[in-house]
Chain A
Amino acid sequence: MTQALFRPSTRPSVLGDNRPEHKGALVVGPVMLMQSELVWLLGAVAKGDEAAFERLYAETRAKLYGVLLRILGRPALAEEVMQETYLKVWKMADKFDPTIASPITWMVAIARNRAIDIVRKRGDLWIEEEPEAMEVASEAPQPLARREMTEELKRLLSCLGRLDPEKQRIVLLAYYSGWSREQLAQKLDIPVNTIKTWLRRSLLEIRECMER
Chain B
Amino acid sequence: MLDDDRDALAAEYVLGTLSAEERGQAEALITIDPGFAEIVRVWERRLGELNVMVEAVEPPADLWNKIKAQIGGGKEPIPPAIAETAPRTAPEPTAEIARPQSELQLPPEPAQDLTPDLTPDVTPDLAKEFDALLRQDLEDKSTTAALASSLLPPEPPAAATTSPAAPAGAPAAPKTERSADVVYLARKAQRLQVIAGAMGAIAALLAVFIAVDRLAPGLFSRGRPAPAVATAPPRSRFVAVLQQEPTAPAFLLSVDPQSRTMTVRRMTAAADTGRSYELWLIADKNHSPQSLGLVGAEEFTARPLPANFDVEAMRRASYAVSLEPAGGAPHGVPTGPILFTGKMVESLPGAPS
Cβ proximity bits A117-154 to B, threshold 8 Å, 1 near / 0 not: 11111110111111011111111111111111110111
Q: Which residues of B contact A180 (CB under 8 A)?
A: 16-19
| Contact A141 to B229, CB < 8 A, known contacts A57-B67, A92-B78, A157-B205 | no
| Contact A3 to B169, CB < 8 A, known contacts A66-B57, A100-B45 | no
Bound Cα distance A18, B12 (Å): 44
Nearest chain B CB to A33's CB is how many angstroms away?
6
Is B210 located at the chain interface by the 8 A CB criterion? Answer: yes
Bound Cα distance A27, B107 (Å): 11
Q: Which residues of A contact B201 (CB under 8 A)?
A: 157-158, 160-162
A143 x B130 contact (CB < 8 A) = yes
Is B32 located at the chain interface by the 8 A CB criterion? Answer: no
A141 x B59 contact (CB < 8 A) = no
User: How big is chain A's contact interface, by range?
Assistant: 35 or more
For chain B residues 71-117, which have a beta carbon within 8 Å of chain A?
A: 71, 74-76, 78, 82-83, 85-95, 97-101, 103-109, 111, 113-117
The one of B115, B224, B229 in contact with A147, judged by C-beta atoms closer than 8 angstroms, is B115
Is B15 located at the chain interface by the 8 A CB criterion? Answer: yes
Is A212 located at the chain interface by the 8 A CB criterion? Answer: no
Bound Cα distance A10, B60 (Å): 11
| Contact A54 to B68, CB < 8 A, known contacts A2-B111, A146-B114, A146-B118 | yes
Nearest chain A CB to B124's CB is how many angstroms away?
10
Q: Which residues of A contact B206 (CB under 8 A)?
A: 143-144, 157
Bound Cα distance A22, B48 (Å): 27
Q: Which residues of B contact A186 (CB under 8 A)?
A: 153
The one of A31, A43, A165 in contact with B169, judged by C-beta atoms closer than 8 angstroms, is A165
In the complex, residue of chain A having the shortest beta-carbon distance to the beta carbon of B21: A120
Q: Which residues of B contact A70 (CB under 8 A)?
A: 54, 216, 220
B56 x A6 contact (CB < 8 A) = yes
B78 x A91 contact (CB < 8 A) = yes
In the complex, residue of chain B having the shortest beta-carbon distance to the beta carbon of A73: B224
B226 x A116 contact (CB < 8 A) = no
Q: Which residues of A contact B216 (CB under 8 A)?
A: 70, 137, 173, 176-177
Q: Which residues of B contact A126 (CB under 8 A)?
A: 225, 229
A169 x B130 contact (CB < 8 A) = no
The one of B106, B114, B219, B225 in contact with A145, judged by C-beta atoms closer than 8 angstroms, is B114
| Contact A23 to B230, CB < 8 A, known contacts A9-B58, A137-B220, A178-B16 | no
Q: Which residues of B contact A91 (CB under 8 A)?
A: 75-76, 78, 82
Known: A50-B71, A206-B11. 8 other contacts (CB 8 A): A79-B63, A92-B82, A123-B20, A123-B229, A125-B229, A130-B222, A136-B57, A141-B210
Q: Which residues of B contact A (CB under 8 A)?
A: 4, 7-8, 11-12, 14-20, 23, 41, 44-61, 63-64, 66-68, 70-71, 74-76, 78, 82-83, 85-95, 97-101, 103-109, 111, 113-118, 123, 127, 130-131, 134, 137-138, 151-153, 157, 160-161, 164-165, 168-170, 200-202, 204-206, 208-214, 216-217, 219-227, 229-230, 232, 234-235, 348, 351-352
A-B interface, 4 closest residue pairs, ranked by CB to CB distance from nearest: A161-B201, A130-B224, A97-B90, A24-B108
